[in-house]
């Protein structure tokens, strides 16, 4: 009984954390040391008012700290339709948090927010390959810096959210 009460106290009240913790604990004995988690950030829906960058970063890291065991080496985020700059700002802010232990590396998995400007600059044309590569290097550097908590927290850029997007 006491174990169950402790487990519940460690879970965040939002379904995300409880579900994530349940999934991780189910597989923790065999996979935690060799796993990378690929969740979304804790953000409001695309058509809702958004929390500020630092607030969303805090909520994301807090939810993860309550659900993800330290044995997991890394968490790589999806962009969730954010602009490249906004996604990078969120990652930067998450890696700047000092009030909450972060035993895992926080980074990105590749997605639209990491490659949209490169694809746009390239445009599928041979003469634009260098422009695409240059744009990609700008994003790679910004996101590399963000994994160390270095970078700009002001976010601009066009949202990459596509309503009713189907994979």
CATH of the domain spanning 2-146: 3.20.20.70
Q: Which residues pair with 77 in a beta bridge?
A: 108
Say what the pLDDT of residue 7 is. Answer: 45
Per-residue pLDDT of the chain (167 residues; tens, 9 = 90+): 445 544 444 443 444 555 666 665 555 555 667 788 888 888 887 778 888 999 999 999 999 999 898 888 999 998 877 888 889 999 999 999 999 999 999 998 867 667 889 999 999 999 999 999 999 999 999 999 999 999 988 766 666 556 676 65
Q: Can you list the alpha helix ranges (DSSP code H) found in the chain?
A: 2-10, 15-31, 53-67, 84-96, 112-122, 129-146
For residues 87 and 143, what is the distance between their CA atoms, to the nearest angstrom?
Answer: 9
Say what the pLDDT of residue 90 is. Answer: 93
Say what the pLDDT of residue 83 is. Answer: 85
- Three-state secondary structure call for residue 100: coil
């Amino acid at each position: 009984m006491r174990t169950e009460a402790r487990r519940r106290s460690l879970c965040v009240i939002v379904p995300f954390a409880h579900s994530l913790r349940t999934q991780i604990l189910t597989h923790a004995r065999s996979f935690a040391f060799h796993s990378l988690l690929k969740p979304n950030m804790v953000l409001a829906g695309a058509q809702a008012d958004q929390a500020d960058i630092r607030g969303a970063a805090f909520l994301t890291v807090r939810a993860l700290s309550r659900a993800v065991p330290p044995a997991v080496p890394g968490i790589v985020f999806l962009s969730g339709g954010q602009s490249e700059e906004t996604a990078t700002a969120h990652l930067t802010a998450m890696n700047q948090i000092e009030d909450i232990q972060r035993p895992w590396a926080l980074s990105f998995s590749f997605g639209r927010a990491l490659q949209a400007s490169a694809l746009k600059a390239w445009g599928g044309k041979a003469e634009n390959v260098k422009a695409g590569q240059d744009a990609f290097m700008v994003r790679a550097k910004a996101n590399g810096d963000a994994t160390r908590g270095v970078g700009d927290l002001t976010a601009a850029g066009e949202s990459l959210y596509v309503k009713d997007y189907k994979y």
